[in-house]
């Protein structure tokens, strides 16, 4: 049992049982598949979704209407999966990210249809917000949706969309007008991958295996019942979604950092230089000490944020941003030190620390860059002072 989980006050007996179950599951089912992630990422992701559904883990990702979302469990699963496979973590996370707004505000029969399919692994979800000219500035999106009788017609392009071309449905954000203050009115829609006028236009090759690409909407006609919430609710729903899931990015970073530390400890104790193990050299001991300390601090911030969200704290925005900022930056430093401890071996394509080095870099960018997190933290501080 992970001593961090048993010695910190954030977890219930149910969380402890989940940790034990996940340790056995990942060792038996995920670790043996992780070596295939460098091949066909699309097929690997589909297999992970089915595997997670088979073991009833997607119910922790897909929110149940009217029931509180257990963010601590979600973070525990992300941390555990990313320890072995960032692609398995992506498969799990996107089922939640792509359905959360639907769980909050979609029409009941539409909501229940898609949530049931996502939770059972019969449909893969995606979250389509980013555009070529709109990343952190959500209000700058240019994709439009205009009302025509009992439908909305969507035109535009999305970029850097995870699961592009793999997903069966997308939560899409589009501009439906202009508000009184002159900013864009944003609305959210459920778009099936089978809708005429929708296409996964391009795939994007990334630093690490990741199904991602561009989406194109050309006169894509979406039934009005597939609007999520009321027209104009899109900005609020997108921010609510990101606010809930932001801390979990830190959890994924912690999983990668834990693996890097474990690999470094193993290597330092087994590799000999100058007549003794690397672990006997004080400079290596210093690195290991810093890595362990930063990892503990990152985990404390992540699970504090998740705990506050779970107990219904009035605000946890600053805590979530602090968790994502510190954990992703710390994980990058920890993994960089792991490569350094491994020396030339750490640069060999396919080794664990080399894979981690590529996988971790994206976490400081997606769902709000480190720079944006600093702005959020400062803004919250100024409001509170």
Q: What are phi and psi of 256, to 5 degrees?
A: -65, -40
Contact yes or no for 115/102 (Cβ under 8 A): yes
Determine which one of 43, 367, 371, 384 is catalytic: 367
In which residue are the tokens 């091949």 written?
39
Which of helix, strand or coil describes residue 124? Answer: coil
Q: How large is the average pLDDT for residues 260-286?
A: 93
CATH topology of domain 3-119: Butyryl-Coa Dehydrogenase, subunit A; domain 1 (1.10.540)
Class in CATH terms, 236-384: mainly alpha
Tens digit of each residue's pLDDT (9 = 90 or more) over 4-15: 999 999 999 999
Structure tokens belonging to residue 138: 């959500």
Full-model pTM: 0.94
Mean pLDDT rounded to a whole number for the chain: 94
Between CA 108 and CA 110 the distance in angstroms is 5
The DSSP string of 303-363 is HHHHHHHHTT-S--HHHHHHHHHHHHHHHHHHHHHHHHHHGGGGGSTTSHHHHHHHHHGGG
The closest alpha carbon to 81, from 90, 73, 89, belongs to 89
Which pLDDT does position 152 carry in this prediction? 97
Burial class (CB in 10 A: 0-12, 13-18, 19+), 115: buried
Q: What are phi and psi of 143, to 5 degrees?
A: -60, 130
pLDDT tens digits, one per residue of 121-142: 999 999 999 999 887 788 889 9
Q: What is the pLDDT of residue 2?
A: 82
Task: Using CA atoms of 204, 140, 319, 322 in order, give the dihedral in degrees to the nearest 10.
Answer: 50
The domain segmentation of the chain, as residue ranges, is: 3-119, 125-231, 236-384
Is 202 a residue of the active site? Answer: no
The answer as to CATH 2.40.110.10 being correct for domain 125-231 is yes
pLDDT in tens, 30-84: 999 888 788 788 999 999 999 999 999 999 999 999 899 999 999 999 999 999 9
CA distances from 326 to 250, 264, 333, 336, 345 (A): 8, 21, 11, 15, 28
SS3 130: coil
Strand segments, DSSP code E, in the chain are 125-128, 144-148, 151-162, 169-178, 184-192, 198-203, 212-223, 227-228, 272-273, 276-277
- Flag whether pLDDT at 210 surpasses 90: no
Q: What angle do helix axes 352-360 and 234-270 make, rounded to 10 degrees?
A: 160
Residue 79 belongs to what H/E stretch?
A: helix 71-84
Q: Is the CA virtual torsion 5, 11, 13, 17 positive or negative?
A: negative
Point out which residues pair with 304 in neighbouring strands.
none
Distance from C-alpha of 223 to C-alpha of 189, rounded to nearest angstrom? 9
Percent of the chain past pLDDT 90, that is, above it, reads: 84
Evaluate if residue 177 carries a pLDDT over 70: yes
The mean pLDDT value for 236-255 works out to 95
pLDDT band of residue 382 (cuts 50, 70, 90) is very high
Using a pLDDT cut of 70, give the percent of the chain over it: 100
3-state secondary structure of 101: helix
Q: What average pLDDT does this structure show over 223-229?
A: 97
Give the pLDDT of residue 229: 96
CA-to-CA distance for 128 and 297, rounded, in angstroms?
32
Angle ∠(358,61,36) on CA atoms, nearest 5:
35
Taking a C-beta distance cutoff of 8 angstroms, is the pair 303, 75 a contact?
yes
Residue 1 reports pLDDT greater than 80:
no
């Amino acid at each position: 049992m992970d001593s961090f989980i048993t010695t910190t006050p954030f977890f219930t007996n149910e969380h402890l049982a989940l940790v034990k179950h996940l340790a056995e599951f990942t060792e038996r089912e995920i670790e043996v598949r992780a070596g295939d992630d460098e091949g066909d990422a699309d097929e690997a992701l589909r297999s992970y979704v089915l595997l997670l559904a088979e073991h009833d883990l997607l119910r922790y990702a897909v929110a149940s209407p009217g029931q509180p979302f257990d963010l601590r469990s979600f973070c525990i699963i992300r941390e555990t999966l990313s320890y072995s496979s960032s692609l398995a973590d992506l498969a799990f996370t996107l089922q939640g990210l792509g359905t959360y707004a639907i769980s909050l505000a979609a029409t009941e029969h539409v909501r229940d249809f898609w949530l049931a399919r996502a939770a059972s692994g019969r449909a893969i979800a995606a979250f389509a917000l980013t555009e070529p000219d709109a990343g952190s500035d959500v209000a700058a999106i240019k994709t439009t949706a205009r009302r025509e009788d009992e439908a909305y017609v969507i035109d535009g392009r999305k970029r850097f969309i995870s699961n592009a071309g793999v997903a069966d449905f997308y939560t899409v954000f589009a501009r439906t007008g202009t508000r009184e203050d002159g900013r864009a009115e944003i609305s959210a829609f459920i778009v099936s991958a089978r809708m005429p006028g929708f296409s996964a236009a391009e795939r994007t090759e990334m630093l690490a295996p990741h199904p991602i690409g561009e989406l194109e909407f050309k006169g894509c006609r979406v039934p009005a019942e597939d609007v999520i919430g009321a027209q104009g609710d899109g900005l609020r729903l997108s921010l609510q979604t990101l606010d809930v899931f932001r801390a979990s990015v830190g959890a994924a970073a912690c999983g990668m950092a834990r693996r890097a530390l474990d690999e470094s400890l193993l290597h330092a104790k087994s590799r000999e230089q100058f007549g003794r193990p690397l672990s006997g050299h004080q400079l290596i001991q210093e690195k290991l000490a810093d890595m362990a300390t930063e990892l503990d601090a990152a985990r404390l911030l992540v699970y504090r944020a998740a705990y506050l969200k779970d107990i219904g704290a009035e605000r946890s925005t600053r805590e979530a941003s602090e968790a994502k900022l510190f954990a992703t930056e710390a994980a990058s430093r920890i993994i960089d030190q792991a490569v350094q401890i491994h020396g030339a071996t750490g640069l060999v394509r396919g080794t664990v620390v080399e894979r981690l080095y590529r996988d971790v870099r994206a976490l400081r960018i997606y769902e709000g860059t480190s720079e944006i997190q600093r702005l959020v933290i400062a803004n919250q501080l100024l409001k509170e002072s």
